[in-house]
Amino acid sequence: MQLYNTLSAKERAELIEKAGKDRLTLSFYKYHHIKNPQIFRNHLFVTWDEMDVLGRIYIAREGINGQLSVPADNFRAFKEHLDSITFLKDVRLNIAIEHDDKSFLKLKVKVRNKIVADGLNDDTFDVTDKGVHVDAEKFNELIEDPDTILVDMRNHYESEIGHFKNAITPDVDTFRDSLPIIEEDLKEHKEDKKLVMYCTGGIRCEKASAYFKHKGFKDVYQLEGGIIEYTRQVKGKDLENKFIGKNFVFDERRAERISEDIIAHCHQCGKPCDTHVNCANEACHLLFIQCEECAEKMNRCCSEACMEVVALPYEEQKALRKGKYKSNNIFKKGRSEVLKFKG
């Protein structure tokens, strides 16, 4: 029984092109107490691998978080399988606004301590005791209320290219960084303000809503389905769109454009731009914003030092990378001294 991916991303991309079939990019999550995450993980991998499902799925004792690419022809079978799992029956699926058949090129199902790393070690905190979910129409009403505080629960590199008007956008690298900062900044308003939160698909602000309720905030709300579902409802119900710019996504597409506004700038020259790229030097792989002119000038690299590495024969590049430790502590997203317009 095969329990792990055996194809490279390149091999998978070639198979997708050869098949010539449409694929759907989607995401879902569910907080639920899972007794044996490893057994559940193996069951999902075997079943979804047979359906040619690709993506990144995290499973923990607190629930499941999935970002997937599913062949359109297999979507019904995939949905029926989800519905056969008691706690996932009728779970909301966030279907991408813009599709890319190569949004994911491997099936990775991993067991983690938590589906959203929060840095918390508090047995009295119940992640299922969440805030009030609101749809796009109610959300638009709430954020116009002067007694509302609107908070973006995403990271700095996400909100940099797009966010809701008048939202607080914490300058943080991770979700776990944001929780104590927001609690400290808003501690004077636990009783007198409505705390409204949003994120990409809902998973982070759902945990945050439960956390802030646990910390004594009385009136807590979250945007149901996040920015993805908000955009769908705005279009479907002809509502006013209050999101400006792009919605950052964690797959090969990098982002979905929600409005025509460009609110960010190239990290190398400063001109208006909201296109995220990864440095072409695989030993760096820094995520940053780069315009087309700088991409051509810098050979899709973040620095001259990386340009020198990329110019080397590939085997020499591999030799330079050998034995070097990679971690998020070293390769910060969107933060580097080499980026003139982003520190």
Q: How far apart are CA 16 and CA 12, in angstroms?
A: 6
Tens of pLDDT, residue by residue over 194-244, are 999 999 999 999 999 999 999 999 999 999 999 999 999 999 999 999 999
pLDDT at 331: 44
Q: Please, which pLDDT band fits residue 1 given cuts at 50, 70 and 90? A: low
pLDDT at 333: 76
Q: What pTM does this model have?
A: 0.81
- Average pLDDT value for residue range 321-335: 60
- 303: which DSSP letter? S
Confirm if 233 and 224 have CB atoms less than 8 A apart: no
Tens of pLDDT, residue by residue over 82-131, are 999 999 999 999 988 777 888 899 999 999 999 988 888 777 788 888 99
Q: How far apart are CA 79 and CA 60, in angstroms?
A: 21
Q: What percent of the chain has pLDDT over 90?
A: 74
Tens of pLDDT, residue by residue over 121-169, are 777 788 888 999 999 999 999 999 999 999 999 999 999 999 999 999 9
Q: What is the DSSP string of 162-174?
A: EEETT-B----SS
Report how far apart the first and last C-alpha atoms of the chain are (Å, whole number).
48
From 199, 205, 266, 294, active-site residue: 199
Confirm if 28 and 93 have CB atoms less than 8 A apart: yes
Q: Please, which pLDDT band fits residue 188 given cuts at 50, 70 and 90? A: very high
pLDDT at 156: 94
Average pLDDT of the chain is: 91
Is the pLDDT at 339 greater than 80? The verdict is yes
pLDDT at 155: 94
pLDDT at 320: 82
Three-state secondary structure of 81-126: HHHHCHHHCCCCCEECCCCCCCCCCCEEEEECCCCCCCCCCCCCCC
Nearest to 30 by CA among 201, 189, 192: 201
Tens of pLDDT, residue by residue over 26-55, are 999 999 999 999 999 999 999 999 999 999
Q: How far apart are CA 247 and CA 228, in angstroms?
A: 8
pLDDT at 222: 96
Is the pLDDT at 324 greater than 80? The verdict is no
To the query of whether residue 199 is one of the catalytic residues in this protein, the response is yes
